[in-house]
Structure 1
Amino acid sequence: MIIGVTGSSGKLGRATVERLTAEGHEVIGFDLVGSAGAGFTRVDLGDYGQTLDALFGVTARHEGLDALVHLAAIPVNGLVPDVTTFHTNVTATFNVLHAAHRVGIDNVVFASSITAMGFPFDEAPPQLPVDETYTSASNTYGLGKVAEEAIAAQLARWGSSAYTALRFTNVVAEGEYDTFARAADPGYRRDLIGSWVDARDGARAVALALADPVPGFRVYNVASPTSGTADPSRAVAARWFPGTPVASDLGEYESLMSTRKIQAELGFVAEHDWR
């Protein structure tokens, strides 16, 4: 396929471009920054005209896309004022999703987040592991992700396109594994309910979603199926969320951010583990 990837210069974006290229796809990167070349076009996704035109076609780059991956965003709260995080991210996502609808791109995968489901989990979730049925934003980044999922769910009703939201947790690059030296710390990754995902596995989830487009809207958690903490998951759950119901079949080191759905429906298997 010819696949557009927004945010192609980011941590997850780079891994996704590499993965899709290795699978034989032609990848066109869209971002504000990046290396000039045949596979990259500089686009301000906050500008609907630029976004629409870039998806229609770019001279010397592409004449139409078969699929689109939207990863571009201000990645966390705190880099800019809170309201700017919300306005920037939601506007860019609306522009991308609506432009894709106008152009007729019927296979769209986009990044949602663990922030849409309770991060930093000051309020205990209703059950563990936390699955895709739970939505609870606690900051403007998460609120934006909830809004973006809602936009995609409604756009899916306007035609027969496939919209897949991937709720990524903390993405760890290949060279960032030294952070797991703290894995035995009782408070390590508490705000992430112990979850994490290698960037290369995040890219694998994107590729799996693209390869299995289902008309309509769907959402999947994307995390390593095993936790980023040294202690067994049931002990961690009891320490962080006393009294919260825990699945009777929870694996010894199973992630408290459930990946059961993406494993069952898309065949997701992590290829990297900090252990």
Structure 2
Amino acid sequence: MVKVAVTGANGRVGKKVVQELLEHQHEVRAIDLHSWEGDVLIEHRIADITNFKQIMQAINGCDAVIHLAAIPGPRDDQDGEVFQNNVMGVYNVALACGLSGIHRLAIASSDCALGFAMAHQKINPVYLPFDENHPAAPDDGYGLSKLVGEQVAKGIAKRFGMSIASLRISAAIKPEEYLSDSFIEHTTSLKPSGNFWSYTDIRDCARAFRLAIEADLQGHEVFHIMAKYSSSAIPSQQLIDLYYPNIPLNKQYTANESFHDCSKAEKILGFVPKYRWDVD
């Protein structure tokens, strides 16, 4: 058992991560802009991730940190604010961990770091499925904030000899949301998808963060954390033939398999996605 601080603990992913940690006998400290709003009574601190002094105080005495707090998506007229908040948040949390002797940190990155989901200028994949080595070229404030955040984490990990995992999660979906009209409509739509029909079940998401702070990494690593199957009921090969017929494929697609390769997370973290929209 270790004591884990969770920033952004009141968020949709944060509350599930707290629950996951408690269920696996970890002690948890919630960190957020507001008092802890969860059902379980746990230790909490109020802190702003852009305030380094507050973060240093908030994580004091913890053994590991899961950093989820961020502006969770683009804002058309506030790209600079999104970028500044998210990048400085990663920098402050990672540096505070390093200076405090906390060597295990997991950070919420995003598939938007690749540059497809929120792109102003659309680009095509170099190959499919995407793995962590695929070129990343975001041009929006949110995607850039996530990619730069990964580089910040890499530098801080090197400086302090830390174990830092940046988890590229996609749309974090709750089980009940699979039954929503908008999600059901999406599953049968032939419209192109900026994030390549990817999603992350929130239960898998929480488990991945727990595994990341339990792992003994050497330095910084990026991991794709998505469902094994796409959010489309249309076979993946049919979607490729329709939208990306000339893109090199590194595997043969059957059924509606994901366009993201998560095998690195399985190999290093022991993470295998359990849930899918059409079953669970």
TM-score normalized by the length of structure 2 = 0.91
| In 2, Cα distance between equivalents of 1:175 and 1:76 | 22
| Structure 1 residue 41 corresponds to structure 2 residue 45 | yes
Could you tell me which residue of structure 1 aligns to residue 189 of structure 2? 185
Q: Give runs of aligned pairs for residues 190-205 of structure 1, distance below 5 A.
A: 190-205=193-208
Stretch moving more, 157-166 or 32-41: 32-41
Could you tell me which residue of structure 1 aligns to residue 149 of structure 2? 148
Q: 1:221 to 1:176 in 2, by over 3 A?
A: same
Q: 1:79 to 1:29 in 2, by over 3 A?
A: farther
| In 2, Cα distance between equivalents of 1:6 and 1:28 | 9
Gaps of 5+ in 1: 57-63
Q: Give runs of aligned pairs for residues 227-242 of structure 1, distance below 5 A.
A: 227-242=230-245
Cα deviations across residues 107-155 of structure 1 (Å, max 9, x unaligned)?
0000111111122262111001111112221211111111111111111
| In 1, Cα distance between equivalents of 2:272 and 2:183 | 21
Report the RMSD for the aligned CA atoms in angstroms: 1.6
Q: Give runs of aligned pairs for residues 89-100 of structure 1, distance below 5 A.
A: 89-100=86-97
| In 2, Cα distance between equivalents of 1:104 and 1:239 | 51
Post-superposition offset of 1:80: 6.1
Q: Contact (CA 8 Å) 1:3, 1:28: kept in 2 or not?
A: yes
Could you tell me which residue of structure 1 aligns to residue 57 of structure 2? 53
Post-superposition offset of 1:236: 1.2
Cα deviations across residues 28-81 of structure 1 (Å, max 9, x unaligned)?
01011243654221111111111111122xxxxxxx111100000000012761
Cα deviations across residues 182-222 of structure 1 (Å, max 9, x unaligned)?
2011116x011010011111011111111212120101011
| In 2, Cα distance between equivalents of 1:79 and 1:202 | 27
The DSSP-based 3-state class of the residue aligned with 1:158 is helix
The DSSP-based 3-state class of the residue aligned with 1:192 is coil
Post-superposition offset of 1:249: 3.3
| In 2, Cα distance between equivalents of 1:52 and 1:80 | 31
Q: Contact (CA 8 Å) 1:119, 1:138: kept in 2 or not?
A: no
Stretch moving more, 222-231 or 75-84: 75-84
Q: 1:50 to 1:248 in 2, by over 3 A?
A: closer
Could you tell me which residue of structure 1 aligns to residue 125 of structure 2? 125
Q: Contact (CA 8 Å) 1:115, 1:138: kept in 2 or not?
A: no
| Structure 1 residue 248 corresponds to structure 2 residue 251 | yes
Q: Contact (CA 8 Å) 1:7, 1:71: kept in 2 or not?
A: yes
Could you tell me which residue of structure 2 aligns to residue 61 of structure 1? none
Identity of aligned residues (%): 30
